[in-house]
Amino acid sequence: MERQFPIRQIMDEQGRIVEHEYRGQITEELVMAMYRHLIRTRTFDRKCVSLQRQGRIGPYVPFEGQEACQVGSALALEDEDWMFPTYRDHGAMMTFGRTLTQTLLYWKGRTEGCIPPQGKKIVPPYVPIATQLPQAAGAAYAEKRKGTKNAVIVYFGDGATSEGDFHEGLNFASVFNAPVVFFNQNNQYAISVPITRQMKSKTIAQKALAYDIPGIRIDGNDIFAVYFHTKQALERARNGEGPTLIEAVTWRYGAHTTSDDPSKYRDQEESKRRRETTDPIMRLERFMQREGFWDENWANDVQERVNAEVEQAVAEMDRYPSANPEDMFDYVFAEPTWTIAEQKQAYMEWKRGMEG
Amino acid sequence: MAEITMIQAINEAMRQEMERDERVIVLGEDVGTNGGVFRATDGLLEQFGDQRVFDTPLAESGIIGTSIGLAVNGFRPIAEIQFLGFVYQAMDQLAAQAARIRFRSAGRFTCPIVVRSPYGGGVRTPELHSDALEALFTHSPGLKVVMPSNAYDAKGLLIAAIRDEDPVLFLEPMKLYRAFRMEVPEEPYEIPLGKARIVKEGEDVTIISWGATVPLVAKLAADMKAQGVDAEVIDLRCLQPLDIDTIMQSVEKTGRVMIVHEAVKTNGFGAEIAALISERALFSLSAPIVRVTGYDTPYPVPSVEDDWLPNAARIVEGVQTLMRY
């Protein structure tokens, strides 16, 4: 199966293009946009870990190491497409249009973090592990029924492939020929459980065979492989050719969340080794150097601008008016039921009593 | 006005809503060519085509999950779960997803789906086909729960459920699908969700019920009248939202309350009603509240189900107990 589903690269670890047919599409403009987004998401991610350590946001889910998966796939989308993310996909969400401030608010435990900018079809991140797959299939089928060219991307991890909803989602999408891309980030650990305990299958991509849809296994740290294969899958979807399963093989350097310690279940030397050899940002840098796109001053400028943007978002978060507990009674139904209205009233009276 | 059964009324409601609103679609297991195992969707495929009425793979979570995606993206799906006992497979999609999309996104995304499902016992079904699970859903904020007991209500409530902006569980007592006919207007009409119906007015005791047990309670109340007990019978029709005003007015009048439901007793919705009455009208009660329900056991095998279900003898005995106060 590993032979049938080889890990595809367009650019190798040294930043060399190995699939030359893509060369013409790799414009300087595209590469610079990719680099900016990679730096932006990594800087933001590190900042969040630091904010969590300072107690300024709640428990945080880092994605460092997976930036190429998230940035590359999100850049492949069109504005009118749908995104069904998980709690680790804020890199993808930010690249697709969710603001940094909204993302910070999410991790600060604010509802505002679940509301995408107007018109952006980014649904609130999913917490159960494969729940979003059938929903994405349904949303995609809706686009097909409406006769649009819009597609849906849905994210999930390696652990999700053990859930029933993984199979139900792929099967429904396959039967309905729905325009959806199932984008798997195989970071090889579900919290502490390695992929070898998750499945006997050698690849995740091979699971596509069961649904008679294309399954593609790519190097998730090669942003070109991510971008172009996702784009092709989206094109297939738009052209009525149905769903695709993409397995992007990657690695999270850090913990599952800021509440766990990865050294308890794996040798963190491996993360160090990968950081030094297969890092997605380093690889793009190598490519840019090799191709003569690299400009140290420009890169410094990118980093400075990103730092400023992140700091501004943190400042906006800090300035945000505190959450109003009364809001928790709203939006359960279009019209509150009498029990909720009554409880809200009682809460407000109790609150006034406490304050008075 | 035509006299039709509940299953015909349900079919008519879907048909008329599909004629009115192109966004309304029907999906589930066997709902297409077969017209549903109870024929609830009979003829819909022929009339509306396979783009609007379609069979799905056999997977409850997938059915509800795809319905959520369709609803978030502009459709108004009516999903059928073939028997309510199979809904456990879809609990995450219902209670953790459909129920919370509006809440999680502060109204940006909504999920106007109707999940229809036959429930209830007394028809000798195989295992897990008879469970009354309404309390699972009334305990899940964000879901509405509707349980009709006759053809007229079924049509008006289903139309209201389809037009509702939030997810609705529409639980159909399968025992009553063809149990009797009643006059049902041919034109579409809505019965607002959250309005109970007083089946019979009375002065001595209030019997609150819903869905499958209502016809039995109504019949017993009529019989009791001859024996000098004037019972008021309330058919809640909808558990979420609940018509608390109708309950309280009746309790204030009679001072005696019996709650009859098929579901197991502990944490059944009857417990919630008893709690609400004790919070609001304890001193109007002249007797402890009586509940006649299923027992706290899994729904039993068909050979003994009649003894498990709330039956005439237990209801009459309960009323006699109440009347001794």
Q: Where are the domains of chain B?
A: 2-184, 197-323
pLDDT at A245: 98
Q: Which residues of B touch A334 (CB under 8 A)?
A: 102, 110, 164-166
- Are residues A220 and A133 part of one domain? yes
pLDDT tens digits, one per residue of B194-220:
999 999 999 999 999 999 999 999 999
Q: Classify residue A1: in a domain, yes or no.
A: no
Q: Classify residue A204: in a domain, yes or no.
A: yes
- Are residues A125 and A76 part of one domain? yes
| CA gap B30, A270 in Å, rounded | 51
- Are residues A354 and A312 part of one domain? no
Tokens standing for residue B92: 């995450």
| CA gap A181, A152 in Å, rounded | 6
Structural domain total, chain A: 2
pLDDT tens digits, one per residue of B150-182:
999 999 999 999 999 999 999 999 999 999 999
C-alpha dist (Å) from residue A130 to A86, A134, A160, B249: 9, 8, 5, 47
> Given the DSSP bridges, would you call strands B231-235 and B24-28 parallel, antiparallel or unpaired?
unpaired
Q: Classify residue A306: in a domain, yes or no.
A: yes
| CA gap A164, A187 in Å, rounded | 20
Q: Which residues of A touch B57 (CB under 8 A)?
A: 168, 171-172, 175
Q: Which residues of A touch B78 (CB under 8 A)?
A: none
> What length is written for chain A?
356
- Are residues A298 and A342 part of one domain? no
Could you tell me if B149 and B196 are in contact, meaning their C-beta atoms sit under 8 angstroms apart?
no
* Active site residue ranges of B: 129
> Do B141 and A114 make contact, defined as CB atoms within 8 angstroms?
no
User: Which is nearest to B68 in space by CA: B89, B34, B46, B92?
Assistant: B92
Could you tell me if A75 and A225 are in contact, meaning their C-beta atoms sit under 8 angstroms apart?
no
Tokens standing for residue A39: 């730096």
- Are residues A182 and A63 part of one domain? yes
Cα radius of gyration rounded to whole Å, chain A: 21
3-state SS assignment for residue A81: coil
Q: Classify residue A2: in a domain, yes or no.
A: no
* Active site residue ranges of A: 252, 256, 265
Tokens standing for residue A56: 């300024």
Tokens standing for residue A22: 């893509």
Cα radius of gyration rounded to whole Å, chain B: 19
* A-interface mutation test, from B55, B66, B165, most A Cβ less than 10 A away: B66
| CA gap B206, B262 in Å, rounded | 18
B2-184 and B197-323: same fold?
Answer: yes
> Minimal Cα distance from B28: which residue of A?
A172
> Given the DSSP bridges, would you call strands B2-4 and B182-184 parallel, antiparallel or unpaired?
antiparallel
Tokens standing for residue B50: 């396979």
Could you tell me if A112 and A319 are in contact, meaning their C-beta atoms sit under 8 angstroms apart?
no
pLDDT at B127: 87
When pLDDT is averaged across residues B264-281 and rounded to a whole number, the result is 98
- Are residues A311 and A341 part of one domain? no
> Minimal Cα distance from B272: which residue of A?
A339
- Are residues A149 and A293 part of one domain? yes
- Are residues A115 and A25 part of one domain? yes
> Do B65 and A133 make contact, defined as CB atoms within 8 angstroms?
yes
pLDDT at A293: 87
pLDDT at B1: 84
Kindly give the residue spans of alpha helices, DSSP state H, lying in A177-264. Answer: 195-198, 223-238
pLDDT at A354: 86
| CA gap B263, B130 in Å, rounded | 10
State which fold the B2-184 domain adopts: Rossmann fold (3.40.50)
Q: Classify residue A224: in a domain, yes or no.
A: yes
Q: b/e per residue, B266-283, with b = 16+ CB within 10 A? A: eebbbbbbbebbeeebee
- Are residues A272 and A328 part of one domain? no
Could you tell me if A34 and A59 are in contact, meaning their C-beta atoms sit under 8 angstroms apart?
no
B143 band by pLDDT with thresholds 50, 70 and 90: very high
pLDDT at B229: 96
> Do A111 and B64 make contact, defined as CB atoms within 8 angstroms?
no
Tell me, yes or no, if A168 comes closer than 8 A to chain B by beta carbon: yes
Q: Classify residue A233: in a domain, yes or no.
A: yes
pLDDT tens digits, one per residue of A77-104:
999 999 999 999 999 999 999 999 999 9
The shortest C-alpha distance from B144 to chain A (Å) reads 9
Question: What residues make up the domain containing A329?
Answer: 324-356
* B-interface mutation test, from A171, A324, A333, A344, most B Cβ less than 10 A away: A333
pLDDT at B139: 97
| CA gap B83, B119 in Å, rounded | 6
> Do A138 and B66 make contact, defined as CB atoms within 8 angstroms?
yes
SS in 3 state form for chain B? Answer: CEEECHHHHHHHHHHHHHHHCCCEEEEECCCCCCCCCCCCCCCHHHHHCCCCEEECCCCHHHHHHHHHHHHHCCCEEEEECCCHHHHHHHHHHHHHHHHHHHHHCCCCCCCCCEEEEEECCCCCCCCCCCCCCHHHHHCCCCCEEECCCCHHHHHHHHHHHHHCCCCEEEEEEHHHCCCCCEEECCCCCCCCCCCCEEEECCCCEEEEECHHHHHHHHHHHHHHHHCCCCEEEEECCEEECCCHHHHHHHHHHHCCEEEEEEEECCCCHHHHHHHHHHHHHHHHCCCCCEEEEECCCCCCCHHHHHHHCCCHHHHHHHHHHHHCC
- Are residues A231 and A304 part of one domain? yes
Tokens standing for residue A318: 């800090």
User: Which is nearest to B169 in space by CA: B98, B261, B273?
Assistant: B98
User: Which is nearest to B144 in space by CA: B130, B162, B129?
Assistant: B162
- Are residues A354 and A317 part of one domain? no
User: Which is nearest to B220 in space by CA: B152, B129, B312?
Assistant: B312
State which fold the B197-323 domain adopts: Rossmann fold (3.40.50)
Q: What is the dihedral of CA B46, B51, B56, B57, to 10 degrees?
A: 120
Q: Classify residue A266: in a domain, yes or no.
A: yes
Tokens standing for residue B149: 């007991």
| Nearest CB neighbour to A139, from listed B72, B110, B194 | B72
Asked if omega into B241 is within 30° of 0 (cis), the reply is: yes
Q: If you count residue pairs, one on A and one on B, with CB atoms under 8 Å apart, how many are there? A: 132
When pLDDT is averaged across residues B311-319 and rounded to a whole number, the result is 96
Tell me, yes or no, if A140 comes closer than 8 A to chain B by beta carbon: yes
3-state SS assignment for residue A84: strand
Q: Count CB-CB contacts under 10 A for residue B179.
A: 18
> Given the DSSP bridges, would you call strands B238-240 and B144-146 parallel, antiparallel or unpaired?
antiparallel
| CA gap A113, A57 in Å, rounded | 12
Could you tell me if B149 and B173 are in contact, meaning their C-beta atoms sit under 8 angstroms apart?
yes
B104 band by pLDDT with thresholds 50, 70 and 90: very high
pTM score of the predicted model: 0.96
Tokens standing for residue B291: 């509940």
Torsion sign, CA atoms B28, B30, B32, B36: negative
- Are residues A264 and A344 part of one domain? no
When pLDDT is averaged across residues B77-96 and rounded to a whole number, the result is 96
> Given the DSSP bridges, would you call strands B114-119 and B2-4 parallel, antiparallel or unpaired?
unpaired
> Do A142 and B103 make contact, defined as CB atoms within 8 angstroms?
no
> Do B106 and A115 make contact, defined as CB atoms within 8 angstroms?
yes
**What CATH number has the domain bearing residue A253?**
3.40.50.970
Tell me, yes or no, if A83 comes closer than 8 A to chain B by beta carbon: no
When pLDDT is averaged across residues B87-112 and rounded to a whole number, the result is 97
Phi, psi for residue B48 in degrees, rounded to 5: -110, -10
> Do B68 and A138 make contact, defined as CB atoms within 8 angstroms?
yes
Q: What does the pLDDT profile of chain A (356 residues) look like in tens digits?
A: 889 999 999 999 999 999 999 999 999 999 999 999 999 999 999 999 999 999 999 999 999 999 999 999 999 999 999 999 999 999 999 999 999 999 999 999 999 999 999 999 999 999 999 999 999 999 999 999 999 999 999 999 999 999 999 999 999 999 999 999 999 999 999 999 999 999 999 999 999 999 999 999 999 999 999 999 999 999 999 999 999 999 999 999 999 999 988 889 988 899 999 999 999 999 999 999 999 989 999 999 999 999 999 999 999 999 999 999 999 999 999 999 999 999 999 999 999 998 87
> Do A115 and B108 make contact, defined as CB atoms within 8 angstroms?
yes
User: Which is nearest to A16 in space by CA: A253, A290, A245?
Assistant: A290
